[in-house]
A and B are shown apart, each in its own frame.
Chain A
Amino acid sequence: MRRLWLIARREMAAYGSLPSFWIALLLGPVLMLLTGLIGAYGASRTEAPAVAQTVLIRAADPALGSAVIAAIADANRRAPPQLRVLTPGQAATPDTVLVVSSKPGSALEVLAQGRPIPPMAAAQLEKELLTGLRRQALREAGASQQALDAADAVHVQVVTAKAPVRKISPGAAEQISRFAIVMLLWMNLVGALGMLLQAIVRERANRALDSLLASARSTEIIFGKLLGVGILSVVVLAAWLGAGAAIAVSRFGAAPPGLEALLLGAFTNPSTLIQAGAVYLVAFAMYGSALIGLGAVAKDLPAAQNLSRPIFGVLLLVFFVALTQMTGAVGPMPWLIWLPPFTPFAILMSPPGATPVGEVVAALVLMLATTVVIAGAASMALTETPLRLRRKRRDASANSRLRYP
């Protein structure tokens, strides 16, 4: 156990001193922050002043229509043109249609349909329209007390018609959130497995592994490397998940519903995060053992890359299966949980309560058993032990003094 920890610590020191590790560590939080910022920007963009937004005026009373056009012209004179009025004959499609109607009590309502008018432009329009109409009322009434009363009675309201909100069903939102977690684990897993493969291949190629094997058991080396690289990748994962959770509960994460908000929403549930972390560890142990075995068989990095293609191919397949589950392109595939390479992702993609706890536990046990078998094979690959040796050793046990650990 001491040797295992020594090897793990050495791996951590080796990778922890690399700048690329710190880049990977910070990449997740930066991505999360960018996601939050994109959401916040998307939300604020509806409030940002648009330049020369085209509008078409529709008014039952042409005089009111003319008043609105005049108010827009006045507003544009005071500030950079924000609205450009299209005449009915113009071929261009307007961004917004302004429907002008008078309301009981002399109130005037301008209803903006289509792209919302920037709030500043709406306020300016309201002000200019009010001023123009009051001036007109005073002029028409000869500035008497009656005229002043008439001017006070003028009210203008620019209203933006609410755009229809495309609603995402709660089920789909959950699926997107789960997919976000799965993808995060997937990215981290692929990165960590790459580190692990390099760690074993480099030492196999330059014979450093021989020094280790002369001092430690092959199983200690396998699990030591798994532990060392695993701890580092968990640190990276924790930084990513933690950053996601922090941003999700911050004001960036509180942006109006959009994809980015849905993605960040996955990080607000502590039990989901804990489950994801636990499943990640089991997945890393299984895939990691397989890669150590392949790295031990390979003579150099190109050979290792070729040998490891099937494993990364399986991981790619897992990605596409998760994608089909999220989009609903293919129906649910609950049996995937029983295929160890898919087990972790199937568990995470499965909606809460959809898979009985007993089945989840049994699938994880099956996966751990697979890990033990793979680690055993990797251990034999490290010491170049042929499979036939075990049988031979039993047969010769009576007269052989050879004992190889």
Chain B
Amino acid sequence: MLAVAAPSTLTPLRVANLAKTYGGGRGVSDVSFSVTRGSITGFIGVNGAGKSTTLKAIVGLIAPDSGVIELFGRPASFAARSRLGFLPEERGLAPRERARDAIAFHAQLKGMSREAAYRRADALLERIGLSGRARARIGELSKGNAQRVQILCAIAHDPALLILDEPFSGLDPIAQAEVQSLFSEFRSQGGAILFSTHSMVVAERLCDHVVIISDGRTAFEGAVAEATTHAPYGVYVTINDDAALLEIVQALGGEAQPFPSKMSDALRWRVLLPRTVPVPALMRALAERELAVHGFEPIQADLEGAFWTLAGQRAAA
């Protein structure tokens, strides 16, 4: 159903030392990464980190101050961008436009013939179960359906690279699963996807690679598995005797951070240990002091943890 127009062996996207400063000083100062063919890359960062600025520069909405953007091995140009599909952060389709017309319009803008564009629109609507609403006006669709139509607008012309700004925001779990399935299909046919998200769960489940951006700079670029190795190592401990815990952690060479949530009199602590210290060593030390431990839960080595570590390092730098 989904097709990728002539997948190229060239790297679909390469960004190097991208910088763009706005009047208020926001923007990006040094962003570098690449997106490989047949992969899904998550673009992660806190609000204001520079995700949207970078994506806008890639699709040509803004002109960067300096840096290199290459699409399919060539400097980014209008012609090269015809192989690119883009979904902006805030969805905006004309409310009185019909779903089928909106998809066909975007496909035609990218060079498809009218007949092919409408055939494609019908096929895509069928693919996501919206063929019954093909002639509905966008304003008559639910928010989730309108968003799905917008995603179809981005992929209607069979692009080789998809740039998506927060594609899952506002979608219910079922719609999210459908869109994820669309993306997986797109990847399996050689297409490349770069999408920004705040959801680490989605990124971890869907992405092959992640790019973490912090304070306008690239903090990490690599495989998800590699990123998770940067997740903090340690354990969540809920305990009454704070002083004793801090003493033990200090002795093991780690550090403890209190968590705001308090259960009865016990306080929850996030204990970070050196990777050379096994978690049972902490448990043993607590047992030896005969402390009442209400909770003991190892920190998962996940993307969220890695994000906080990597983004925090970048911010500190």
Contacts and interface: CB of A to CB of B under 8 A. Distances in A.
Interface of A: 2-3, 6-7, 10, 13-14, 17-18, 203, 205-217, 383-386, 389, 392, 400-405
Given A18-B96, A203-B92, A405-B78, A215 B61 contact: no
5 contacts: A3-B109, A17-B96, A211-B153, A216-B109, A404-B76
Contacts of A402: 64, 66-69, 75-76
Contacts of A206: 90-92
Contact of A383 (B63, B65, B77, B96): B63
Contacts of B100: none
Interface residues of B, number: 40
Nearest to A209: B92
B62 A384 contact: yes
Nearest to B111: A2
B84 interface: yes
A211 B66 CA distance: 24
Contacts of B68: 400-402
A346 B109 CA distance: 40
B105 interface: yes
B92 A6 contact: no
Contacts of A401: 68, 70, 75
B88 interface: yes
Contacts of B90: 206-207
A385 B63 contact: yes
A215 B108 CA distance: 10
Contacts of A209: 92
Nearest to A384: B62
Contacts of B101: 13
Given A207-B92, A402-B67, A402-B76, A10 B61 contact: no
A14 B97 CA distance: 7
A392 B153 CA distance: 35
A405 B87 CA distance: 20
Given A384-B63, A402-B68, A402-B69, A215 B94 contact: no
B33 interface: no
A217 B56 CA distance: 14
Contacts of B84: 214
B90 to A, nearest CB: 4
Contacts of A17: 96
Interface string B22-55: 0000000000000000000000000000000000
Contact of B92 (A13, A211, A404): A211
A4 B75 CA distance: 25
A215 B105 CA distance: 11
Contact of A211 (B65, B76, B81, B86): B86
A91 to B, nearest CB: 68
Given A210-B86, A383-B60, A401-B75, A10 B94 contact: yes
Interface of B: 56, 59-70, 75-78, 81-82, 84, 86-94, 96-97, 101, 105-106, 108-110, 150, 153-154
Contacts of B82: 215
A207 B97 contact: no
Most chain A CB within 10 A, of B86, B94, B150, B153, is at B94
B75 A211 contact: no
Nearest to A208: B92
B89 A383 contact: no
Most chain B CB within 10 A, of A208, A212, A384, A392, is at A208
A216 B106 CA distance: 10
Contacts of B96: 14, 17-18
B94 A14 contact: yes
A212 B59 CA distance: 11
Contacts of A216: 109
Nearest to B101: A13
Contacts of B81: 214
Contacts of A7: 109
A384 B153 CA distance: 24
A386 B109 contact: no
Given A10-B105, A14-B97, A18-B96, A215 B63 contact: no
Given A14-B97, A207-B92, A402-B68, A217 B105 contact: no
A217 B78 CA distance: 8
Given A3-B109, A13-B97, A384-B63, 6 more contacts: A6-B108, A17-B96, A208-B92, A215-B109, A383-B60, A386-B63
Contacts of B65: 392
A208 B92 CA distance: 4
A402 B66 CA distance: 8
Contacts of B56: 210
Contacts of B60: 213-214, 383, 404-405
Contacts of A212: 109
B20 to A, nearest CB: 9
Contact of A384 (B61, B70, B154): B61
A172 B71 CA distance: 66
Contact of B75 (A2, A208, A389, A403): A403
B28 to A, nearest CB: 14
Contacts of B62: 383-385
A403 B76 contact: yes
Nearest to B82: A215
